[in-house]
Structure 1
Amino acid sequence: MSSNTTLLTSGARLIVTTHNASGKSTFHSDLTLPSFSPFGPSGSSFTIFDTRSSVPVNNLQEPTHLRDTIPRVPASGVNFCVTNIAPRFSVPMHRTLSLDYAVVLAGEIVLALDSREERMVKAGEFIVQQGVNHAWHNRTDEVCRIAFVGVGAEMVVLGSGEELRETVIKVPAK
């Protein structure tokens, strides 16, 4: 296996800026946030950099880093995180109530939809995901790292009135 398998456990460096009392730009923090691996060492890991409960945000408010949780976007808020998907691992079909902007940073991943359509997405490529039912399949021997910015979204309501609700991936009991 490649050396990029350290992406699963290494967490990620986060630099946060802010303003001082006179309004000048300054660095607030520079730290490495740990990753959360609810599916074990051969599954997925997550690092949440910031979650805000609503927009617009207060840029003087300190970022909220959520540890030991799978990223979820607040209904009227935003979430910024990274997900690492282990080699030969699949994330089951699920739907989020969010608009997700994503960029594959390392490796490649298959994005599968419930219509049975699939697309390979490689490092340097982008995704705009609009609350669809989807799964992720890493069919390679490399870790795939994806950065996400999620924005709370309204539930999709079909012309028939059917509501497409969120389906949550359950964290295995320890």
Structure 2
Amino acid sequence: MSFQKNVKASPLRDNTRHITTHDPTTGKAIVHSSTSGNWSSFDDGKLGFNVIYTTSKFPPDINGDEDIKAHEKVMASDKLGLVNPGGTVCRTVDFAPGYECMMHRTQSLDYGIIIEGSVEMILDSGEVKLMHRGDVAIQRATMHAWRNPSETEWARVIFILQDCEKVEIGGKELGEDLGRGTSGLPPSGNDI
């Protein structure tokens, strides 16, 4: 899996993140910052990641903008895997036409919300579900892949990944499995 940092692969519109906070004098809501995406490209530009936000504990501490400081520290570390141990990750993922990502598993409870195009959720059992704009997948630490079935259009999914307790099935601990060809993607480290 080839990896390029700060490269947006898809032609889909960039998304802007607007973070709110409170005016320390009035207590009224204000915009802390508005920033465009910071994309990374994988698999020769067929897969794009944009981390929108992370938290590093649950529940997060938003007093004094502690959560924003924690997010900035995580992003500066360059060590964020798919999951942030003890916290959450909100990520936009773009899939090229016909692209299928590697079969993988994260130790997390994930919400995958289709916002552009259609995506197939492929499970290691062989089961496949075609999902359309507005559909939501609840991934519960299962082995899965994603495929964009369109031959011409890009697809976009927003994923919210939440760290979870270790998963044990039939006496076997599952843990994270990033699958084939994942160089450039650090392990999450939450299954140690």
Tell me the TM-score normalised to structure 1 length: 0.86
Give the conservation status (yes or no) of the 8 Å contact 1:46–1:71.
no
Residue of structure 1 equivalent to 2:114: 104
Trace 1:15-164 onto structure 2 (pairs within 5 A): 15-22=18-25, 23-41=27-45, 43-59=46-62, 60-61=65-66, 62=68, 64=71, 66=75, 72-140=82-150, 141-159=152-170, 161-164=171-174
- Residue type of the partner of 1:39? D
The percent identity for this pair of structures is 28
Q: Supply the distance in 2 between the matched residues of 1:113 and 1:69 (Cα, whole angstroms).
A: 27
Residue-pair matches, total: 165
Deviation, structure 1 residue 25: 0.9
Give the conservation status (yes or no) of the 8 Å contact 1:39–1:172.
no
Q: Supply the distance in 1 between the matched residues of 2:106 and 2:92 (Cα, whole angstroms).
A: 16
Q: Supply the distance in 2 between the matched residues of 1:44 and 1:71 (Cα, whole angstroms).
A: 16
Taking only aligned residues, the RMSD between alpha carbons, in angstroms, comes to 2.1
Deviation, structure 1 residue 106: 0.3
SS of match in other structure, 2:20: strand
Deviations 1:132-171 (A, max 9, x none): 0001111212111001111101121013x11112012513
In terms of fraction of residues, the more helix-rich structure is: 2
Structure 2: which 5+ runs fail to align?
A: 1-9, 186-192
In terms of fraction of residues, the more strand-rich structure is: 1
Tell me the TM-score normalised to structure 2 length: 0.79
Q: Supply the distance in 2 between the matched residues of 1:111 and 1:88 (Cα, whole angstroms).
A: 13
Give the conservation status (yes or no) of the 8 Å contact 2:103–2:178.
no
